[in-house]
Amino acid sequence: MRFHVLGVGSIGTLISHHLRLANASAPISLIVRKGTANPPPKPRDDAPIWLSVQRANQRSTSKGFDIEKYDERRRPQPPDPSRDDINADAVAGPIDSLVVCLKTHATLPAVRTLAHRLSPNSVITLLQNGMGVYDQLCSVLFPDPETRPHFVIGTTTHGVTFTKHFGVVQHRSKLGDGEIRWGVAPDPRGEVDLEQPSSTPTPTPNLDNLRTTLETLLSMRSLSPSLLPMPHLHHQLLLKLALNATINPLTAILGVGALPNDSLVAAEPGYRLIRLLSAETSAVLTAYLHSLSSPHSPPPDVVRLFSPESLEKRTFALCRATSTNISSMAMDTGRGRETEIDSINGYMISLGVRLGIPTPSHRLVTEMVKFATSVNGLDPMLAGMYRQAVVGAREERREVAREAMTERELSLREREVAVAEGQLKLAVQDKKRELRANSKDSRKAYRAMRMAQKMGRDTSGELVRASVLLYGKASDESGESSVPGEAVAVDVEESEAAHWAGVGSQDFVASKSS
């Protein structure tokens, strides 16, 4: 059975790559929109199409894909015989299994171009953000349950982003992290036994395609796939919707297409915005779950799962776990492309209207995302002016911050200079006092020596007396003072005056002592 993958974006590339790795011989066609700037790469003209996924510094490549293009305005064009990468039978033949990885707003127009190739035995697998696409396809394209294809609906926690090269993606989820959960939509014809949701359907002619599709989707073991009962999968879809309805619009509005997820939890205002949207989302989804279970109440663990505290906690954790990721809505908004806001926050608003729950916050962020997208995309000149204004304002804030930092640095330097000057003044004053003291002591010692020499007596004894005059004591070899301490009062100048008056130094000292 041939698989057709509609939409070769980041998730479409990841799924196509792992489908090929898990099923080397299965024919796989990649359906891309006409006008795609860069088709999936080919290493050389005669080589097959190849895709590549980088994960944890490891790169794996898959090849052997067929290519066909669709135009939303008309049915797919016939294949070009000169293209060796296009299989004519694949383009013209029926579609047994269609895996849709398009944006939600692009799904209906794209599937409409392929509807004539789908039969009641075909399988349509939806792997997208947001909700409401399944109901839209059933009501618009397949209103008759007897001719409606089987539907498989999935949700994933794998983080994938494009690189600079088309067909090459970066798988951001760490090894062992991320999973894909599948569920089979209720079959109105009653051909699928939903009482055994964890196993694939019993093979019958009408269910062969569904069974093969589920087996193939579950064979991509490196993506951690699992099959859940549809009620359980519905809870997972609602939970992802709740997280996306908070993170995606906030990063799209606040970051002009460049705000990583963890920026929302970098400051208190981000926490408050998350709490505001989480509380409103909890009110809507809790009322919705009660309406589904009426007249009974939903299980308590399910109600706790969608409580405001639980949604806040999970949103904070997801922002940190995907810290460097930029949501697809933020990137689309920055590039002026249509976003999935109507199938995420718009879906929340429609539930609120149906249940009578006001949703002013979701309405506000929805209009803000649409406005930012229109400014960035509808008028190139206006978009350029808007981006320039945003970038200019950002640069202005950075310049103000740099100037403030410079002023603070100058103020600190001025304080440091003032402190250094004060310390220098104190050091100079201390040095002056030290020099004055040394100079005074030197003068006293010199005059004492002069006095001893002029007395004509034993120089050593005079030095002792000079020491007494200078320091108030004289120590002999025994270490005891030989002259009374009152001699401290004797000034050297008076000693010299007494000498020149003809009075002996000893008599002068004795007279002073008495």
Residue 477 pLDDT class (50, 70, 90 cuts): very low
Quote the pLDDT of residue 404: 86
Mean pLDDT highest for which of 57-61, 83-87, 203-207, 358-362? Answer: 358-362
In a domain, 390, yes or no: no
Residue 204 pLDDT class (50, 70, 90 cuts): low
In a domain, 164, yes or no: yes
Mean per-residue pLDDT over the chain, rounded: 80
Quote the pLDDT of residue 195: 46
Quote the pLDDT of residue 248: 94
- Could you report the per-residue pLDDT of 435-447, keeping only the tens digit for each? 878 777 777 776 7
Quote the pLDDT of residue 135: 94
Quote the pLDDT of residue 409: 87
Quote the pLDDT of residue 99: 97
- Could you report the per-residue pLDDT of 122-150, keeping only the tens digit for each? 999 999 999 999 999 999 999 999 999 99
Quote the pLDDT of residue 324: 83
Is the bond into 295 cis (omega within 30 degrees of 0)? yes
In a domain, 119, yes or no: yes
In a domain, 121, yes or no: yes
Residue 275 pLDDT class (50, 70, 90 cuts): very high
Phi/psi of residue 475, nearest 5 degrees: -105, 130
- Selection from 229, 356, 246 nearest residue 290 by Cα: 356
Separation of alpha carbons 259 and 434, rounded Å = 66
Q: What is the mean pLDDT of residues 97-101?
A: 96
Is the pLDDT at 511 greater than 80, yes or no? no
Specify the number of domains making up the chain.
2
In a domain, 221, yes or no: yes
Mean pLDDT highest for which of 306-320, 331-345, 412-426? Answer: 306-320
Separation of alpha carbons 125 and 149, rounded Å = 10
Q: Is the pTM of this model over 0.75?
A: no
Residue 166 pLDDT class (50, 70, 90 cuts): confident
170, exposed or middle or buried, with CB in 10 Å at 0-12, 13-18, 19+?
middle
Q: DSSP string of 77-98?
A: PPP-TT-TT--HHHHHS--SEE
- Could you report the per-residue pLDDT of 233-268, keeping only the tens digit for each? 999 999 999 999 999 999 999 877 778 898 999 889
Residue 478 pLDDT class (50, 70, 90 cuts): very low
In a domain, 173, yes or no: yes
Mean pLDDT highest for which of 31-35, 158-162, 225-229, 420-424? Answer: 225-229
Is residue 241 a contact partner of residue 348, using CB atoms and an 8 Å limit?
A: yes
3-state secondary structure 189-233: CCCCCCCCCCCCCCCCHHHHHHHHHHHHHHCCHHHCEEECCHHHH
- Selection from 129, 65, 61, 64 nearest residue 100 by Cα: 129
Phi/psi of residue 114, nearest 5 degrees: -110, 0
- Selection from 460, 438, 436, 437 nearest residue 448 by Cα: 460
Looking up residue 217, the CATH number of its domain turns out to be 3.40.50.720
Higher pLDDT, 290 or 490: 290
Is the pLDDT at 216 greater than 80, yes or no? yes
Separation of alpha carbons 161 and 10, rounded Å = 6
Quote the pLDDT of residue 240: 95
Give Cα separations from 422 to 269, 425, 426, 428, 432 (angstroms).
45, 5, 6, 10, 15
Q: What is the mean pLDDT of residues 330-338?
A: 86
In a domain, 146, yes or no: yes
Is the pLDDT at 96 greater than 90, yes or no? yes
CA dihedral angle for residue 298, residue 301, residue 302, residue 308, rounded to 10 degrees: 120
Cα 493 to the center of its chain, rounded Å: 86
Separation of alpha carbons 321 and 308, rounded Å = 20
Separation of alpha carbons 409 and 415, rounded Å = 10
Quote the pLDDT of residue 451: 74
Q: What is the mean pLDDT of residues 417-430?
A: 89
Separation of alpha carbons 494 and 232, rounded Å = 114
- Could you report the per-residue pLDDT of 20-63, keeping only the tens digit for each? 999 988 999 999 887 654 555 554 444 457 898 988 888 899 98
Quote the pLDDT of residue 482: 42
Separation of alpha carbons 51 and 251, rounded Å = 29
- Selection from 317, 292, 339 nearest residue 129 by Cα: 339
In a domain, 473, yes or no: yes
- Could you report the per-residue pLDDT of 361-372, keeping only the tens digit for each? 999 999 999 998
Is the pLDDT at 158 greater than 70, yes or no? yes
Its domain, for residue 482, covers 444-513
